[in-house]
Amino acid sequence: MSAGRSLQPDSLRAPKTLEVPSWKKAYEKTEWEMDVEKLLPLIHATELALVLRGQEIRNNPVESEELSSMKAAAEDLLAIKIHRLGWPDPYSLPRRS
C-alpha cells in the first residue's frame, strides 16, 4: 500500500460531496466563539482557509455555490470584527479625495 492511502475500503468512505470544507469548519468555530481573546486568531484562521479554498476552486464553475457561501462567510467575518471586536466599519469611514 502506498503512503497516504486510506486503510478504509472505498465503499465505506463518505462521498466527496458530503465532505465539509475546512473553511466551513473554521467559520462555524469562529461564529460560535464567545471569548474575545480567542476570536481574532479564529477569524484569521478562517480567512486563511477561505483564501486557500478559493485558490483551489477559483477556475471551477461547478463550485459557484460554494463560492457564494464563502463570500457570505467573509462578509459575516467582517460583521463579527465590527460588532464583536469593535473594529470600525470600513463602509462608514469618510472617503479621501
Count structural domains, the chain: 1
Task: Please check whether residue 9 lies inside any domain of the structure.
Answer: no
User: What range defines the domain where residue 53 resides?
Assistant: 20-83
Give exposure, 10-48, as e/b (b: 16+ Cβ within 10 Å): eeeeeeeeeeebebbebbeebeebeeeeebbebbebbbe
Task: Please check whether residue 30 lies inside any domain of the structure.
Answer: yes
Task: Please check whether residue 97 lies inside any domain of the structure.
Answer: no
Task: Please check whether residue 5 lies inside any domain of the structure.
Answer: no
Q: What is the pLDDT of residues 48-93, one digit of tens each?
A: 999 999 999 888 878 888 999 999 999 999 999 999 999 999 988 8
Task: Please check whether residue 37 lies inside any domain of the structure.
Answer: yes
Average pLDDT, the chain: 84
